[in-house]
Every structure is written in structure tokens, then in C-alpha cells.
Amino acid sequence: MTDHDAFLGLEPAGLWAHFSAIAGIARPSGRESAIADWIAGWAETRGFPVRRDSVGNICVSVPATEDMPGARVVALQAHLDMVCVRAENAASDPAAGKIEIVHDGEWIAASHSTLGADNGIGIAAAMSLAESKVIPHGPLELLFTVEEETTAKGADGLDPSLIQADVMLNLDAESSGVLMIGCAGSAWTVLHWPAPREPVPEDWRAVQIVLSGLRGGHSGLDIGKNRLNAIKGIVSVIRCVSESVPIRLCRLEGGDAFNAIPIRALAIIGFPGAMASECAGSILAAQSHLATRYSATDPELCTSQTTVDPRGLKSWSEGDGDRLLDLLSVVPSGVLALEQDAPDQVETSNNVGIVTERGDVIEVHSLARSSVASALEETLASIESAARLAGAEFTIIPPVVPPWRVAPDSAAQAVVQEAYRDLFGREPRLVTVHAATESAIILQRIPRLDIVSLGPEIQHAHMPGERVNIPSVIQFYDLICEVVMRLASSSVGGRVAGGSSVR
């Protein structure tokens, strides 16, 4: 479904050609074998050695150009997987390698799904640089990792022997003009809440409520924008109804990814047949309240209510249903603290990303983030306390990602800053991002590495409408080429002289 015409005339041509091909390969987390095999095939046709480790990471070794004998080895790192989210009833289906792509002014975008620029542009940039005939560079190691968007399995299980470099450029930042020098730590939690269900009382009716049309977004980068979480929203709707109508909760689910703010949730509730009008009115009142409260952040918010045949329908008891709603109400979601020295930046947050049913067990998936290790621990403790009170099992899915900061004497940071200044006539912004990065985990596996992170301008990551800015991709690629040239000219740990970028 990828529209190759969207990329016509774009520069760097090789980068966009690779990205066009990547966009047509299904690569949700945990299913990266197709994209890994495709990269291996590309490398083998060019005589680049390929190595893989036991968790599925792939490393392509690219020899130095003839004019750079004995140069230092530089690693370029990106992740293979993408978040696969699509609008309701969209023809696009990233999980199947079907993405409707449009060229809209200065942007390449997916109108109805995620695009996969996170981190497909990083993959494409590394490949384009590796096959360039005009950019001098030392030996390159292209490291492509798996499951960055979910378990961080690739970074956490990375075989250190894949990498000989002492400096690494992570290509997964999402803001142009920014050098990412740190990140929040994170932890993925899952609550398992078991409770049997029983038949809905006789003479009761049932209705399915769907809350949709929300903007969602990245659970770290967008968490401070005060957008409605669909799971929290549907709980609010149910509670509003229960204030005036006796109900039994029969079903509750929502969200597509634990690291994306949910855009849709649904519930089925039973209620006395004689109170159908009261129930419908309460649902409309709840929608009106949410629509007013979130009119600026989620202007397309809507709810629908559809009659469901109650025959054979089962519900939780009143007490169990209340406990589930209590659990989902008290598990924190959203911004929990701001940075003390930068109050416009989020320090600590939690995102309730998925509620789903597995038999008689409800699973609640959340992602907690903080730039302060002790604050992350406190957030996890509060989620565990909520689980204990509700009778749910609390689990942390490894790894717990620690906060990461570039060392003050980082040679890589100095080289990138100097190259950026020489290329663009201004200083890059140095930022720590409220999102866990693989850099923090990779540094644990290979402590000698000097890592910095950069990328183009990507907006609406992890949500339908994801897009990447075309001029920023050009700058991103020029900067990578310039930095690689300068690093090749430097001694280990040293500063280097200026160069000139050649696309």
C-alpha cells in the first residue's frame, strides 16, 4: 500500500528509497525477522559482513573508505520495530506492512496510522551512508535492535561482542536541532486482576459504550499535553452512569500499546430494563462533560452506545465490578511531577496504556517514566499498592530502564556540537527527553561507549497521523555524515578538526 510517488524528487534520494521499502515491511515489536532478513540481504549484496545475536539484533560491518585507513570504528544504532496504531476502520494496517503515505508540503505523513519514521528514518539514514561512494568514513557498525517499543529485548540482551566501536550515534531522537544527551528511566508494569463472572440478572438489558476520537500520542513525549486517556475516560463514563442507574460491568477494554496514550476504549454494562432512558441519558451527560473538559486537546471525542443482547451475557458482581473500576481509577496516569530545575519539563509520569481480557483475568498494562530513579521507584510502589488493595497481581516486565545522562567530558557530544555549529551556524539544543531510550540500556551492556542521540523532526509518534519533516531529514543526514567524517579523523577520546559535509 506504500505510495512510492510520495517520495519522488526527495533528497537524499538513497535515504528515501530505503525508507519507502522499509515502510512496506511489517515490523511490529516481536516480529522483526522480515525487516532483519531484508537488511541482511541488502548487506550481503554489497559484501558487508552480517552478524546476529541470540535475541535477534543484527549488526552490519561496513569497511572504511580507502582514504580513511586505520580510522576509529563508529557505531550507528537504530531499532527495527515500530508502534502499529491505526485509526478505527482505516485501510492502513502497519502491522501488515500496509501504510497509506502522503507527501504534504514539507512533510511525509501517514494520514490514518503510524508511519514508522520512528525509527525507520534512522535505519534508512544508516543504510544510505553505508552505501555512499562520496562520504569518507572509517569502519562503521550498523546496529539494528529489536523490540525497542515494547520490552527493550534487543538492547537488554545485546551481545557486546557485536560492537567494537567506542563511540555510538543513536539515530532515534525525534526533534530537529536537538542533541539528546539524557533520558528518563522507565518500567513496564502489568496487573492481573482475576474475578469470575455470573449471568446478568433477568429482565436486565445491556449496552456497549465506545469512547473514541481521541488524539492519543507518545506516552512520554506527549504525556504533558493533558490529552484524555481513553481508559480513564471510559471509567469516568461508567461511574457517571452508576450514580443514577444500578449496573453490572460485563466487559472493559481499551488501548493498543502500553507506551501510547489510548485513543479508544469500550465497555459493556447491564442495567434494569425499566431504566433504559436513564442509562442513555447518563451516557450522554458523561460525554458532554468529557467533551467540554477536553475540548482543546481532544476536539473529536465522541461516545456511541449500542444495544447488546443480554442473553448469555455475564457480568462481574457489583462488588467485583466496583473493585475493578476503583483499581483503574487510582492507578496513576498522566504527569506526576515536573522537573525542579526546569518546570516546563515532565520529571515523572505513568501511562495506563492497555486494559484487556484473557479469560476471566483482566490485564492492565502501564508504563512509568522518571528522570529521577527514586521517583520511578515511588511510582511503581504506588501501582503495586493499588494492585494489592484490589486483589490484583503486580508484575514488572524487565528490563527496568535507568535514567541516562551523557558524561560531562563526552568527546562524541563535543564533536556533534561542533559539527552542528559549523554546518548550520547555530548551537543545537541539549535536552534530556521524557522517554526511555535504548542508549541507557546499551550503555549498561557496553560501558565504554560514548553515546549521543540525534534525529529529524517527527511529530505524532505512536499515533495516527505520524509525520516526518523533509527539510529536517536533510539536516539530520548531513549532520550524521559530517560527524562520521570528523570522528574518523580523530584519535580515540580526542577532539577533531572541522570538515565539510558531502551528501
Give the catalytic positions in this structure. Answer: 81, 148
Q: Residue 93 corresponds to which amino acid? A: D
* Grid cell listed for 141: 557498525
Closest CA to 142 of 51, 19, 31, 13: 51
**Contact assessment for residue 151 and residue 397, using Cβ atoms and an 8 Å cutoff:** yes
**Contact assessment for residue 374 and residue 395, using Cβ atoms and an 8 Å cutoff:** no
Q: Are strands 167-170 and 346-358 parallel, antiparallel or unpaired?
A: unpaired
**Contact assessment for residue 155 and residue 147, using Cβ atoms and an 8 Å cutoff:** no
Residue 456: which residues within 8 A CB-CB, separation 6 or more? 117, 121, 174, 176, 468, 469, 472, 473, 475, 476
80 to each of 22, 56, 97, 241, how far by Cα in Å?
A: 10, 10, 13, 44
* Grid cell listed for 167: 563511540
Rounded to whole angstroms, how far apart are CA atoms 452 and 389?
42
Residue 108: which residues within 8 A CB-CB, separation 6 or more? 6, 7, 10, 101, 102, 115, 117, 467, 468, 470
Q: Residue 394 corresponds to which amino acid? A: F
* Grid cell listed for 261: 496514550
Residue 436: which residues within 8 A CB-CB, separation 6 or more? 152, 183, 184, 185, 186, 220, 369, 401
Closest CA to 350 of 325, 318, 317, 381: 381
**Contact assessment for residue 272 and residue 336, using Cβ atoms and an 8 Å cutoff:** no
Helix (H) or strand (E) holding 108: strand 107-110
Rounded to whole angstroms, how far apart are CA atoms 152 and 146?
7
Alpha-helical segments (H) within 339-493:
373-390, 411-424, 438-445, 470-489
* Grid cell listed for 21: 521499502
Rounded to whole angstroms, how far apart are CA atoms 301 and 293?
11
**Contact assessment for residue 253 and residue 265, using Cβ atoms and an 8 Å cutoff:** yes
**Contact assessment for residue 257 and residue 351, using Cβ atoms and an 8 Å cutoff:** no
**Contact assessment for residue 404 and residue 443, using Cβ atoms and an 8 Å cutoff:** yes
Q: Which residues, listed in sequence order, are joined to residue 62 by a DSSP beta bridge?
A: 140
